[in-house]
């Protein structure tokens, strides 16, 4: 490795943002998190809006890698190319009602079971080394069971 590539890698590491507890990132209008299998986007509903009026939102997925989410007659909240492809025919959304607020929850199954560094291709990148549960034996239960059987008999 040359000296320039070392400094380039070091500079890129400094640009990484801290992940939230869901292994994603909190943005101004939404937050996202992930497991190896799926990405979850949570959007709080504005004050006065409720889950009873879910037609207030429009959600669309295009080409397995592009998402648009918007409120009726307002600019889009989310509009961008996803970091990696999803299983476009398996995504789902739901409205969740909490005591103090309601929110929209969008679940996107990943095409490949890998950690995403960002929700979008051009979005802020998170440091995947700082994930709370970044231990393969916790994340892949079947592999963990096989390993225990091999080690402990």
Place of tokens 């959600």: 59
Q: Is 112 helix (H, G, I), strand (E, B) or coil?
A: coil
pTM, whole model, 2 decimals? 0.75
> Mean pLDDT per segment of 10 residues, for the chain of length 153 residues?
50 74 94 95 79 73 95 89 97 85 92 95 90 58 68 62
- Tell me if 39 sits within 8 A of 32, measured CB to CB: yes
| Amino acid 14: pLDDT | 54
Domain count, the chain: 1
Q: Which domain holds residue 123?
A: 3-152
Q: What is the C-alpha separation between 131 and 20, in angstroms, rounded?
A: 8
Q: Which helix (H) or strand (E) holds 92?
A: strand 92-97
| CATH for 76 | 2.60.40.790
Q: What is the C-alpha separation between 82 and 99, in angstroms, rounded?
A: 31
- Tell me if 141 sits within 8 A of 40, measured CB to CB: no
């Amino acid at each position: 490795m040359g000296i320039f590539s070392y400094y380039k890698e070091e500079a890129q590491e400094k640009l990484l943002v801290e992940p939230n507890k869901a292994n994603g990132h909190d943005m101004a209008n939404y937050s996202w998190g992930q497991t190896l299998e799926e990405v979850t986007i949570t959007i709080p509903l504005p004050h006065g809006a409720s889950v009873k009026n879910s037609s207030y939102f429009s959600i669309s997925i295009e080409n397995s890698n592009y998402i648009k989410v918007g409120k009726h007659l307002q600019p889009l909240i989310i509009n961008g190319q996803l970091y990696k492809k999803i299983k476009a025919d398996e995504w789902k959304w739901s409205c969740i009602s909490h005591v103090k607020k309601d929110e929209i929850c969008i679940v996107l199954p990943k095409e490949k079971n890998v950690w995403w560094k960002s929700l979008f291709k051009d979005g802020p990148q998170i440091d995947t080394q700082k994930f709370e549960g970044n231990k393969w034996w916790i994340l892949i239960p079947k592999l963990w069971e096989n390993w225990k059987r091999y080690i402990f008999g």
